[in-house]
Amino acid sequence: FLSSGSPKVCIVGSGPAGFYTAQHLLKAHQNVQVDVYERLPVPFGLVRFGVAPDHPEVKNVINTFTQTAKHPRCSFYGNVNVGEDVSVDELQEAYHAIVLSYGAEGNRSVGVPGEDLPGVYSAKDFVGWYNGLPSCQELRPDLSCETAVILGQGNVALDVARILLSPLDALKKTDITQPALEALAQSRVCRVLIVGRRGPMQVASTIKVYLPRPRKRLTELMLKTALEMPTEKEQERRKKASRIWGFRFFRSPVEILAEPGCNRVAGVRLAVNKLEGSGEKAQAVLTGEVEDVPCGLVISSIGYRSLPIDPTVPFDSRRAIVPNSMGRVHNAAGLYCSGWLKTGPTGVIATTMNSSFDTARSLLEDVESGKLDVSSAKPGSHMISSLLEKRGVKPVTFSDWEKIDDLETRRGEVSGKPREKILTVAAMLKVAQT
């Protein structure tokens, strides 16, 4: 790729997809200039706001992303909301190519009566709350009940169950936020039921694609323990346990029940299913039987969902992705996509990495073949920066982010945590821009 000109590429979103796409472009092309625009003042997407606080090793990818951000041909512009502060059309005028990698910030709803009752939360918001996502800090979930029901048995459901039940001493050493820690200290939740449409075999296979080997073995052991008839000694131990959890298989929610005369959740009505077929393809079919499970907290964890950010960008609302082939957006020259926006909201960071490298390869192939014209000079960040200035938007640079990072780390040291996150955009901007 050394023969071509100097392509200016803009990336929208600084999660794993954005950074891995940038990394591959910079490595494979000697002259490419990559600018990353991020809505929040802080980078790294779900690595900061999704990955569970008790899995710090997963966050080591931040070191690689930091190297990419500091590459001489890469710039980071945080606090820029594409679709609002600047349009995709304007970015297309300023750059030869745009890579959309803004993730999946919506969530799938359960679609049953009672879903909006107080005491029902989406896992996306609950996770955002304990991980310090500014837009979720008002959630303040009510943890005053004993039984919580989680709808969905995926990896995020297991993260939420663990956070609800972990001993406080273990969480205190993580980067979970202080308000979440305080709420969990007061929590009376001691029983968590994780409900799924299908059976243990289907759960096992979703877990297997997600976990690194040592944790996979642990999870398999956990599943085995959950499914086997416990020994007498084990039964005794469980009776004495202060906190318990369990899977509820072959059940679909049909209604969230309210307390009589009171507008808050009192239980979940579950339809009993049977399986038709086997393995991953097995279908849950209703038997006609229902059962009510009393509980005071319901967390729905049935998946994230990408949203359109700009009317000029093609969007497949049924699949909730940008329609593409190998990352090339259909019927939109110069537009590419990567990450959860490209594939749908499944897959671990490693999956996102591989598919982002594919998108970068597609883009570079198009440069090489001439399909993407990079012969005329483009203004790049000059044009966008002056537009933003006129609109009163002040971007956060990567060294501004390092000031936030530094303060968070120092605040964490005081309480023996890896960091104490700043929880509002205003406070982040104050640190970044003074």
Would you call 125 exposed, middle or buried from its count of C-beta atoms within 10 A (0-12, 13-18, 19+)? middle
Identify which range of 22-30, 50-58, 391-399, 410-418 contacts ligand FAD by CB under 6 A.
Answer: 50-58
Binding map of ligand FAD across residues 131-160, x = CB under 6 A, - = no contact: -------------------------x--x-
Nearer to ligand FAD, 267 or 327 (CB): 327
Task: Establish if 17 lies at the interface with ligand FAD (CB under 6 A).
Answer: yes
Site for ligand FAD in 289-348 (CB under 6 A): 304, 309, 339-340, 347-348
* 113 phi and psi angles, rounded to 5 deg: -60, 145
200-208 vs 213-227: helix crossing angle, rounded to 10: 170
Task: Establish if 352 lies at the interface with ligand FAD (CB under 6 A).
Answer: yes
Nearer to ligand FAD, 101 or 122 (CB): 101
| 71 contacts: CB under 8 Å, gap ≥ 6 | 22, 26, 34
Q: Which amino acid, residue 98?
A: I
Nearer to ligand FAD, 50 or 114 (CB): 50
In the complex, minimum distance from the CB of residue 301 to ligand FAD, in angstroms, rounded to a whole number:
9
* Residues constituting the chain: 434
The annotation status of 349 as a binding-site residue, yes or no, is yes
Among 6, 54, 58, 308, binds ligand FAD (CB under 6 A): 58
Which of helix, strand or coil describes residue 314? coil
- Residue 246's nearest CA partner among 158, 115, 120 is 158
Report the residue number whose CB is nearest to ligand FAD.
15
In the complex, minimum distance from the CB of residue 307 to ligand FAD, in angstroms, rounded to a whole number:
8
Binding map of ligand FAD across residues 236-275, x = CB under 6 A, - = no contact: ----------------------------------------
Distance in angstroms (rounded) separating the CA atoms of residues 82 and 91: 9
Nearer to ligand FAD, 197 or 305 (CB): 305
Which of helix, strand or coil describes residue 372? coil
Site for ligand FAD in 60-89 (CB under 6 A): 81-83
Which contiguous run of DSSP H or E holds residue 69? helix 61-69
- Whose structure tokens read 């967390």? 299
- Residue 312's nearest CA partner among 119, 86, 138, 155 is 86
The annotation status of 46 as a binding-site residue, yes or no, is yes
Distance in angstroms (rounded) separating the CA atoms of residues 134 and 123: 16
Nearer to ligand FAD, 15 or 132 (CB): 15
Report the b/e string of 297-318 with b at 16+ CB within 10 A.
bbbbbbbbbbebbbeebebeee
In the complex, minimum distance from the CB of residue 129 to ligand FAD, in angstroms, rounded to a whole number:
12
Number of DSSP helices (H) and strands (E) in the chain, helices first: 16, 17
Among 37, 76, 121, 401, binds ligand FAD (CB under 6 A): 37
The annotation status of 162 as a binding-site residue, yes or no, is no
Among 40, 164, 298, 423, binds ligand FAD (CB under 6 A): 40
Among 151, 349, 372, 396, binds ligand FAD (CB under 6 A): 349
Distance in angstroms (rounded) separating the CA atoms of residues 183 and 185: 5
Nearer to ligand FAD, 12 or 176 (CB): 12
Task: Provide the annotated binding site for FAD.
Answer: 17, 38, 46, 82, 340, 347-349
Residue numbers at the binding site for ligand FAD (CB under 6 A): 12-18, 37-40, 45-46, 50-51, 55, 58, 81-83, 101-103, 105, 127, 156, 159, 304, 309, 339-340, 347-349, 352
